[in-house]
Amino acid sequence: MRSAIVPTLLALVASTSAATEHPFQVPTEPAARAPSRIAIIGAGAGGSSAAFWLAKAKERHGLNIEVDIYEKDSFIGGRSTTVHPYGDSSFEAIELGASIFVDINKNMWRASDEFNLTRYYLGDDMSSLGLWDGKDFLFTTGSWRGTLGGWVDNIKALWRYGYYAPTNTDKLVKNITDNYVNIYGPDTPIWPNMSDVVNAFDWGTAVSQLGSEYFLSRGISERFTYELIDAATRVNYAQPVETLHGLATLCSLATGGAAGIERGNWRVFENFVQLSGAKLLLNTTVSAIDRESSAKFTVTSDRGTASYSSVILAAPFHTASISLPSGLADLIPQQPYMTLHVTLLSTTAPAPNPAYFGLAPGAHVPGNIYSTPGVARKLGDTLEFNSISFLTKLRKEGAEKGTAYVGESGKEEWIVKVFSPKAVSDEWLADLFMGQVGWVLRKEFQPYPALKPSPSFPPVRLDRGLFYVNAFEPLLSTMETETIAARNVVDLLLHEEFDSGICYPAKVNETHARASDPSFVYGWDC
């Protein structure tokens, strides 16, 4: 099938590119052959960004590829999705799943800039904060700026935790984030397996230690670790600081510049899909991936069977109900995911019921309550909720900032989010919000893996042409890291099938690509 010019081309490639790994897979003249077809399974952060990275390479290097995205749901975004209060789309959308990214999350940041999406900042209007141990408030503040730095300025925090606990924690977090941003640099590695990326960033120690071990052994006090850090890991990963690994714990504390996208983070992923030109198949569940030949796979969905040269799996394997070619499923270690119940509701109560917290009527109750058993914890302590957050007032879409909606009750309503290990009952909600509950929506998620120390990582490349984005999740599970995992998978795929990459063989812009240039983002600027 190869045309006569191939040997010449190969000779050329061999003589000009010492770095070439797969010279025999150089494409012939694009017009001379059918496009390579690539399937992506899942249209969440991982799958949508995979399509976007493929499109970047296609645009830069003129690759002859066609991409199909399979998505079982009727929407783009996966675990990043919004709902409208009262199911009424004239009300502002509220995040039901992933809500926050931070300023060092350069793909989300850059994407929102380039796609003209508006960010809102969580530090702007945080109301008061309290840590609740199931019996008492360990600690409350008048206002919270949403960053660890804010704690240092708070006189009550100084008293409770000592000056050095927050500052030393800040240093540990800064050390890890300063190194992390190299993942966006021109010299970022491409990793065929997860051990490679763990080693490249020196994350081995943090990943092999428990969060509690990591901080206690570095001089952070028990009180700070088991109260404040624990509350952060519970709200971020639904896991206490003594069960999840140090890296995920550090990630829970790296809150600088916390932001979200107005009208929904999923709009980033929608833009990824639209700009990629990929064909999106919504409401389409994939049931099997099979080998058709040494160079082809078939993907079977409820629309039938189609043939592809490469397949990118961008959904957690153990919940995706997809059968793989023989032997491959065994390569993916069992991966338990957490269970989290998210309850969104509206209430005319401006704060939770003081009586629920054993306080006198009229006593101040914070608008953001995080639960932690504190220092006097027992293994397997369960609290009724992980967090209660008064998010925003019910507002009409497009209403001026600060303008709340006033309904028939004549009162403004708050939108509140509750995270809990079990579903909360109507009676519990009525007690907590003094009978003033309007709209309620409950959703059970498997939000993120159990982030155990020394996780057994699945292969990133399952086989020639078959890649697994969510192999990254046992390391860290966030929207941003899924876009990074997808970027890596796309680079691997392009090297394997086209002797190309998202950037390679394009020359990196030397002026712009200095590692010291903070605006450079690998994949966008190469």
Ligand X SMILES: Cc1cc2nc3c(=O)[nH]c(=O)nc-3n(C[C@H](O)[C@H](O)[C@H](O)COP(=O)(O)OP(=O)(O)OC[C@H]3O[C@@H](n4cnc5c(N)ncnc54)[C@H](O)[C@@H]3O)c2cc1C
Write out the residues near ligand NAG by the rule CB under 6 A: 74, 115-116, 172, 175, 179, 192-193, 195-196, 202, 282-283, 509, 511-512
Q: Does 122 bind ligand X (CB under 6 A)?
A: no
Determine the Cα–Cα distance for residues 43 and 282; give it in Å rounded to an integer.
9
Q: Does 188 bind ligand X (CB under 6 A)?
A: no
Determine the Cα–Cα distance for residues 322 and 301; give it in Å rounded to an integer.
10
Q: Write the binding mask 308 to 337 for ligand X: x where contact by CB under 6 A, - elsewhere.
A: ------xx----xxx---------------
The crossing angle, in degrees rounded to 10, of helices 246-253 and 164-180 is 100
Residue of the chain from 38, 39, 43, 254 that contacts ligand X (CB under 6 A): 43
Q: Does 78 bind ligand X (CB under 6 A)?
A: yes
**How does DSSP assign 228-251, residue by residue?**
IIHHHHHHHHSS-TTTSBHHHHHH
Q: How many CB atoms lie within 10 A of CB 229?
A: 26
Residues 147-186 that bind ligand X (CB under 6 A): none
| In the complex, minimum distance from the CB of residue 470 to ligand X, in angstroms, rounded to a whole number | 5
3-state secondary structure of 171: helix
Q: How many residues bind ligand X (CB under 6 A)?
A: 38
Instruction: Tell me phi and psi for residue 309, to 5 degrees.
Output: -80, -30
Q: Does 47 bind ligand X (CB under 6 A)?
A: yes
Residue of the chain from 38, 45, 54, 122 that contacts ligand X (CB under 6 A): 45
Q: Write the binding mask 372 to 401 for ligand X: x where contact by CB under 6 A, - elsewhere.
A: ------------------------------
Determine the Cα–Cα distance for residues 419 and 444; give it in Å rounded to an integer.
10
Residue of the chain from 42, 166, 240, 366 that contacts ligand X (CB under 6 A): 42
Determine the Cα–Cα distance for residues 93 and 391; give it in Å rounded to an integer.
12
Determine the Cα–Cα distance for residues 526 and 522; give it in Å rounded to an integer.
6
Instruction: Tell me phi and psi for residue 158, to 5 degrees.
Output: -60, -45
Q: Does 478 bind ligand X (CB under 6 A)?
A: yes
Q: Does 479 bind ligand X (CB under 6 A)?
A: yes
With CA atoms as reference, report the closest residue to 487 among 75, 185, 140, 240.
Answer: 185
Q: Does 70 bind ligand X (CB under 6 A)?
A: yes
Residue 74 touches which of ligand NAG, ligand X, none (CB < 5 to 8 A by kind)?
A: ligand NAG
Residues 236-295 that bind ligand X (CB under 6 A): 285-286
With CA atoms as reference, report the closest residue to 299 among 42, 48, 78, 27.
Answer: 42
Rule CB under 6 A: which residues touch ligand X? 41-47, 70-73, 78-80, 97-101, 285-286, 314-315, 320-322, 340, 342, 445, 447-448, 469-470, 477-480, 482
